Amino acid sequence: MKNFSILLILSIYLFSTTELIQLLKIPVLISHCIEHKNNNSKLTFVQFLNDHYNIPVKDNDRDTDEKLPFVKHVNFLNITAISSTVSSEVPLMTSSIFFEKKLLFYPDQYYLNTYTSHIWQPPKIS
């Protein structure tokens, strides 16, 4: 039962968000191919696909041709916006604790220039 429900949810998701829904039109493709095969007995399935997909011809059965799978594409881009109506108010907290401000960097007057020039030297090959 668990596998069935997972498969069902996955199928619903894929059929609603991708072009897999076109696979449900395969019976229309087969019946339309049989109609053309009855009119022309030398027609093969590959020729039928070529005539209807590579070289679309406007003929008297154009309505049926447009119902074939993957002839018309559907835009499946859905933008869903969910807004929350629950108000979340944060109470303003005031604090009576004060922190002393400390200097993290010392002014340049505390550095001796003679020592800093010795620090920044390229490595030496010995």
Burial 10-19 (b: 16+ CB within 10 A, else e): eeeeeeeeee
Least confident of 18-27, 33-42, 55-64, 102-111: 102-111
pTM of the model: 0.52
Structure tokens at 77: 């881009």
Apex 111 CA angle, 110 and 115, nearest 5: 150
Give residue limits of the domains in the chain.
24-75
Mean pLDDT for the stretch of residues 12-21: 82
Name the more confident of 18 and 111: 18
